[in-house]
Structure 1
Amino acid sequence: MKEYRYECFSFLMLIGGILASHFEQSWFAAEHVRLIWYLIAILPVGLPVLKEALESLKEKDFANEFMLMSLAAIGAFIIGQYPEGVAIMLFYAVGEKLQDNAVDKARDNIRALLDMRPQTASVLREGELQIVTPAEVQIGETIEIKVGERVPLDGTLQNESVLMNTAALTGESVPRFFKQSEEVLAGMIPSDRIIHLIVNRSADQSVLSRVLKMVEEAAERKAPTEVFMRKIARIYTPVVMGIALLIMALPFCYSLLQPTFSYVFAEWLYKALVFLVIACPCALVVSIPLGYFGGIGAASRRGILFKGGNYLDAITKIDTVVFDKTGTLTTGKFKLDKVIGIVAEEEVLQYIVSAESQSNHPMAKAVIEYARQENIPILPVEFSREMAGYGLETKINGQQIMVGNYRLLDKFHITYPIELRSIPESLILCARDQQYIGYVVLVDELKEDAHQAILDLKKLGVRQIEILSGDKDALVQSIARKLGIDKAYGNLLPSGKVEHLEALKQEGRQVAFVGDGINDAPVLALSDVGVAMGALGSDVAIETADVVIQNDHPSQLATAIKIGKYTRRIVWQNITFAFVVKIIILILGTGGLATLWEAVFADSGVALLAICNAMRIGKLLK
């Protein structure tokens, strides 16, 4: 209540004055006493508004809500309607405070993230731990984090394994298991042991810092509805002021032409003030941006980062969702299942492992992990060339070793058993000196919530769901059948995905593409809404995608659409409610049936209700 002390004082003074008039107190009968009483009542809430109005005048901005409120309150005092003048400023001041509180509440998630950035880091230097600020730690240095402490900087895990609380970044309450050499991000908390990290990013470039910057900048990207209403307000406000002036001037001019018409200045000024207060666009100017900001805040609390209110709007219009497969619908963590060769299987596997040691592809990582567990030696690679969408051409022990998919062997005119094409699992084929020698089989499991993700999207009215993948078509079709997806396309190069997306857009589709944010940057940029899935460590994802889902759950896409729809619904509820109430009171005011009290409700009262409605977004999603 302390922050509302000025408003409480003005409210008590207003009620006291109204009661004194109602009970006809003799000491309150004198006009100068009433004027002084209500001046004291209005000063605490009115002076800040008058100050803003004067500042606007200095900037040659004559048409804003501060000017409207100031003119209405001053006019009310001129004609002796002191309580109404105080009420105008009081309700406006309360509305502004509620707006500030609502914005602060929407910012709670961001402030919480800011609080999660530790102020110190324990860095190992010359065999001793030194306590320094994160900004002082250099890339490549080793830091220590105790159980329960927040990680201050992004780094590579040196321990064999650790359970980490990742709620700050992903919104997930269940701890996540990390293995040696995996990246641990600032804001996470070790749950079971002291850990050591080798720092790989500076403090200002950490994923947490980039996420914070992105969320804070999101409020600056306006939704089309918000931009439109702001443009209208710039025209609307001066028009309202002009009409209010005409309400006073036209009857006066008419009285000059018709002497029988009695013109009473106070009466027509009162009507002009009623119109001025009713027509003030406060409810729209305040509640619409607050609604979008609330939507962005509600989404970020759930680990979904919208890069602007415009994308909250755009995601509600999506009728087609296109998924990448690996790492999006599937875990992306391949396991080596078996090795088949026309030469010794150990030889085939060693060639594949050695060649794949030059690649960062998820399938390559699976093969290398298997080799590490089975102690398979990696041969020196004399030359390596990676071909996106095909595989690797390498030179090992003076021999040309080709490792990749069917397209790679076809490209180099290497023959292989045609029946391999009918195997649905992922294969890595190997050829030595232009001769096919065998392959390995890798399996990639569906994510736990993949089925639910597709069901939820269909319930939300998404008409078409597709899969586009570089994997072979048999595997992609198998995944599509399991998930109940009608259209799926495999064997696509990045350029093929772009062509397919362009064809969908030419059909008039509103397309959301969901990918890992690294290999799919072109299609993420081309889609109406690009969604990066589980891509916290990817600069490309944060730069290219419009929405970043911070965990690996495809079902979060449906949540993102729901948040967009809730936000849009509440924004339009506020717009409709504000206009309907204002039109009703304007009609009553034109007939002389509405007083300044009704006008105050039509403006400040509606604004208060609109603010309260905008604050419901987070509650609707619980």
Structure 2
Amino acid sequence: MKKKKRNLRDIKPHTEDKHNHSHDDGHNHGGESSGFKTYVPAVISFTMLIIGIALDYFDTTFFKDWIRIIWYGIAYIPVGFPVVKAGWKSIKNGDVFTEFFLMSIATVGAFAIGEYPEGVAVMLFYAVGELFQDAAVNKAKGNIKALLDVRPKEANVFRNGDVKSVSPETVTIGEKIQIRVGEKIPLDGVLISEKGTLNTAALTGESKPDTILKGASVFAGSINLENVIEVEVTKEFKDSSIARILDLVQNATARKSKTELFIRKFARIYTPIVVYLAIAVTLIPYFFVDDYVFTDWLYRALIFLVISCPCALVISIPLGYFGGLGAASKNGILFKGASFLDAMTKINTLVMDKTGTVTKGVFKIKEIKAIGYAEKEFMKYLMAIEEQSTHPIAKAILAYKEEGSEFSASDVSEIAGKGLKGTVNGKTVLVGNKALLTAHNIEVLAETETIVESIVLVAIENEFAGYVFIADELKDDAKETITALQKVGIQNIMMLSGDKDAITQKVAAELHIATAKGGLLPEDKLNEVEILKKNPKNKIAFIGDGINDAPVLAASDVGIAMGGLGSDVAIETADVIIQTDQPSKVVKAIKISRSTRKIVWQNIALAFGVKMIVLILGAGGMATMWEAVFADVGVALLAILNAVRLQKMSWD
């Protein structure tokens, strides 16, 4: 899954693996010391080039012949050797006409005709372009954790009468493990404690914490919310739910196509053309020029090759992307590479998760219905009972009034799987689900049957007193996001969620999303996206935040993760990270990508246009290599100014 990343010490053909986070040569550009090492070759070559030009200018007596050749040769090696090496490897692999090959023969040719400073300068500019590209990619990646770091590191297992902390891989089926409050369950198993409350949102997308009883199945990756619980292991770690999801991520990643940068594709056409033209410049005049001298026309052909080096292109393209990556970062959006800016411009289908993506993932009272009591009095009875509970739903109810219920409850007891019973102000109060009230022969309103969200029913003195229903809230910008997406041309929008289908459909209706499916496992989400991918016209972006979203993030053309509250595995797998957890940032990401691509193509047109003019002049003997070098520098400066515009644009 991981491949060596191209850098100046080991230049490879321009391909970019979307889940490439390692450097086999030991260079980590996120660190200061290794980052400095990356710039050393260019600094050495630049320093020696400037000193050499100065010595040439002052016409020193000793800086001649072999001393001059050796000096510029040493200046060439730090930036030139990796390119020559990469060109040779490409030739051995059957790929002759690469930009590395063109760079090599042009600069070696410059040395052959005695134009040493030009040969070094051309390769130096190429090296600087590579540094710009590396800086852009490395800035976007940052210090993201490795994919497998999200696995539970420890399991507290009962052995020989003690609780021992061991690696989950060493725990066998049938052993008993202990999970403290706030810890992730490390392996799949069966609950042997009386009850437990688990946050399974990262695995299933279910927004409501799950209260389970003794004998119920529990899954690795779930978080224990209340009380210390004990679990009997039923599966080895390699077969656990979280390991299965990570395996899905790896498989989906392997199926993703690699994206080559434009310069690599362009060079396959451009390079052989200029090589054949250089040969033509050398040989064809023999048939038309009376005073043909082979060495003169060879000299002109080599100048032609030096001029034809795509330095300005190599610099202007990453500069444009760097501007786009910088603009995105300023707006709280991290792209993990320049190729994903390109990919984002092609998106026409958007698939999104629900919980934590368009909703806040936090419970809040949506409606209170009191019967026979004023709302405030009704809530006082309810809160008095709920104060005895630590369940997340109870916390949402208690948020109704910060100063407390003012009523106090006594003799509060829990009825397993149904709710709570207690006495408030001398009155018997029941708080729970329909089964609790039905067991006490209390009839509830029929309208409660149509409520899909979590509902808490209340009875006082064996009379139905009302209900409260609680739901996850939509994010503030969720509705405007869907409208804005449609305005920028994304018409095909789908919602896939692990939450209940009824809740998913309701949220989708609120957001005016036509297609929505709920109750999906990670495999189901992946299958839905794979079905969409069968149509080659569909270019799919997926937005999610949980571990369960990771396989789909990897399989989509562009994976977008909510970085503020999202799981580590989702952030690691995604191509784009929304740091602020605002779905509306996706619209900005699309706008920034499209503007970046436009500016990149402007830079390409500028660089190519100037290059063609100088090439024609060079073929006619009217331009020297220094003119070509300075033409490249001028184009690069214009490209910088053009790319800077991205930082000044408004994306609202």
TM-score range, shorter chain: 0.5 to 0.7
Aligned residue among 450, 459, 466 for 2:484? 459
C-alpha distance in structure 2 between counterparts of 1:326 and 1:196, whole Å: 29
Q: Give the share of equivalent positions with the same residue, in percent.
A: 27
One-letter amino acid matched to 1:372: K
C-alpha distance in structure 1 between counterparts of 2:358 and 2:247, whole Å: 24
Within the alignment, does 1:76 sit opposite 2:107 as a pair? no
**Cα separation, partners in 2 of 1:576 and 1:303, compared to 1, 3 Å:** closer
Aligned residue among 572, 587, 596 for 2:625? 596
Residue equivalent to 2:304:
272
Within the alignment, does 1:39 sit opposite 2:89 as a pair? no
**Cα separation, partners in 2 of 1:96 and 1:230, compared to 1, 3 Å:** closer
Alpha-carbon contact 1:123-1:144 (below 8 Å) kept: yes
Aligned positions of 1:478-493 closer than 5 A: 480=509, 483=510
Aligned residue among 156, 159, 175 for 1:125? 159
| Secondary structure class of the residue paired with 1:13 | helix
Within the alignment, does 1:579 sit opposite 2:590 as a pair? no
Within the alignment, does 1:52 sit opposite 2:86 as a pair? yes
| Secondary structure class of the residue paired with 1:130 | strand
C-alpha distance in structure 2 between counterparts of 1:304 and 1:280, whole Å: 24
Alpha-carbon contact 1:121-1:134 (below 8 Å) kept: yes
Residue equivalent to 1:16:
51
User: Residue deviations 1:296-353, cap 9 Å, x none?
Assistant: x979x979999x94994367435x889989996697989998999xxxxxxxxxxxxx
Aligned residue among 540, 547, 554 for 1:536? 547
| Secondary structure class of the residue paired with 1:537 | helix
Deviation at 1:573, TM superposition (A): 2.2
One-letter amino acid matched to 2:55: A
Deviation at 1:83, TM superposition (A): 0.4
C-alpha distance in structure 2 between counterparts of 1:248 and 1:265, whole Å: 5
User: Residue deviations 1:193-227, cap 9 Å, x none?
Assistant: 98877777726866489569849975984588x58
C-alpha distance in structure 2 between counterparts of 1:255 and 1:242, whole Å: 20
Structure 1 stretches lacking a partner, 5+ long: 171-175, 341-367, 377-418, 429-439, 490-496, 498-512
One-letter amino acid matched to 1:26: T
Within the alignment, does 1:87 sit opposite 2:118 as a pair? no
**Cα separation, partners in 2 of 1:37 and 1:223, compared to 1, 3 Å:** closer
Alpha-carbon contact 2:245-2:551 (below 8 Å) kept: no
Within the alignment, does 1:566 sit opposite 2:601 as a pair? no
Residue equivalent to 1:373:
419
Alpha-carbon contact 1:147-1:192 (below 8 Å) kept: yes
C-alpha distance in structure 1 between counterparts of 2:180 and 2:506, whole Å: 47
Alpha-carbon contact 1:322-1:514 (below 8 Å) kept: no
Further displaced range: 268-277 or 100-109: 100-109
User: Residue deviations 1:86-125, cap 9 Å, x none?
Assistant: 1122232343344445444444354465556576554443
Further displaced range: 100-109 or 195-204: 195-204
Deviation at 1:55, TM superposition (A): 1.9
Alpha-carbon contact 2:541-2:556 (below 8 Å) kept: yes
One-letter amino acid matched to 1:459: A
**Cα separation, partners in 2 of 1:583 and 1:13, compared to 1, 3 Å:** same
**Cα separation, partners in 2 of 1:521 and 1:581, compared to 1, 3 Å:** closer
| Secondary structure class of the residue paired with 1:62 | coil
Deviation at 1:10, TM superposition (A): 1.9
**Cα separation, partners in 2 of 1:116 and 1:317, compared to 1, 3 Å:** closer
Alpha-carbon contact 1:223-1:313 (below 8 Å) kept: no
Alpha-carbon contact 2:358-2:583 (below 8 Å) kept: no
Deviation at 1:69, TM superposition (A): 1.0
| Secondary structure class of the residue paired with 1:25 | coil
C-alpha distance in structure 1 between counterparts of 2:340 and 2:44, whole Å: 38
**Cα separation, partners in 2 of 1:536 and 1:324, compared to 1, 3 Å:** closer
**Cα separation, partners in 2 of 1:71 and 1:140, compared to 1, 3 Å:** farther
**Cα separation, partners in 2 of 1:214 and 1:262, compared to 1, 3 Å:** same
Within the alignment, does 1:108 sit opposite 2:142 as a pair? yes
Alpha-carbon contact 1:305-1:549 (below 8 Å) kept: no
One-letter amino acid matched to 1:596: M
Residue equivalent to 2:237:
202
Aligned residue among 42, 55, 65 for 1:7? 42
Deviation at 1:59, TM superposition (A): 1.9
Deviation at 1:79, TM superposition (A): 1.3
Further displaced range: 326-335 or 51-60: 326-335
| Secondary structure class of the residue paired with 2:164 | strand
**Cα separation, partners in 2 of 1:282 and 1:567, compared to 1, 3 Å:** same
C-alpha distance in structure 1 between counterparts of 2:352 and 2:153, whole Å: 42
Alpha-carbon contact 1:221-1:309 (below 8 Å) kept: no
Deviation at 1:370, TM superposition (A): 8.9
Residue equivalent to 2:380:
none
Within the alignment, does 1:247 sit opposite 2:281 as a pair? yes
One-letter amino acid matched to 2:548: G
Deviation at 1:246, TM superposition (A): 2.3
Alpha-carbon contact 2:156-2:163 (below 8 Å) kept: yes
Residue equivalent to 2:575:
none
C-alpha distance in structure 2 between counterparts of 1:231 and 1:597, whole Å: 27
**Cα separation, partners in 2 of 1:160 and 1:86, compared to 1, 3 Å:** farther
Deviation at 1:66, TM superposition (A): 1.4
**Cα separation, partners in 2 of 1:332 and 1:43, compared to 1, 3 Å:** closer
One-letter amino acid matched to 1:313: M
Residue equivalent to 1:25:
60
Deviation at 1:452, TM superposition (A): 1.6
| Secondary structure class of the residue paired with 2:97 | coil
- The alignment yields a C-alpha RMSD, in angstroms, of 6.4
Structure 2 stretches lacking a partner, 5+ long: 1-35, 372-413, 423-444, 455-465, 533-537, 567-577
* Residue correspondences, number: 501
